[in-house]
Amino acid sequence: MRASRDKLQSLIAAEDEAEARRKKERGEEWERYLRREDERKVAQAIKDSQQQLAEIIESWGKAIIVERFFSDVERRMEGVDEALRQHLEGRLKLARQMMGSIDPLDFMANWRAPDDRYRSRYDQSPQPPSGGPKEKQ
């Protein structure tokens, strides 16, 4: 009877050890999943940030073209009669208000950097994808 009890205790201990190993493996697998997901989110934040920055630069470039147009209109208004000039000045003022700011600082203030989008829980600093600018060592 004692042998049976010892064998049963041995089986229970073995099962407890096996369960502890399985639990540890599940925990390690979950941690690997969390790290992969974190890496994916960091990469997506970098990609989204780069895309937004490219769009901001493109929008700013278009705004500069519009401002050049407005400046040319102002220059050409110097040669027209007073009544037409007043009418055109009013139109130009409205057009500028519609276009909004062309200050690059305003454009940059609205940009969301990668860390603004997602911050890694593993404290890795975001790196540009291959082909992007890299820090010199």
Give pLDDT tens digits for 53-75.
999 999 889 989 999 999 999 99
Residues in the chain: 137
Give pLDDT tens digits for 4-26.
889 999 999 999 999 999 999 99
Taking the C-alpha atoms of residue 19 and residue 13, their distance in angstroms, rounded to an integer, is 10
Question: Going by C-beta distance under 8 Å and a sequence separation of 6 or more, which residues neighbour residue 70?
Answer: 92, 95, 96
Taking the C-alpha atoms of residue 132 and residue 49, their distance in angstroms, rounded to an integer, is 13
Strand locations in the chain (E): none
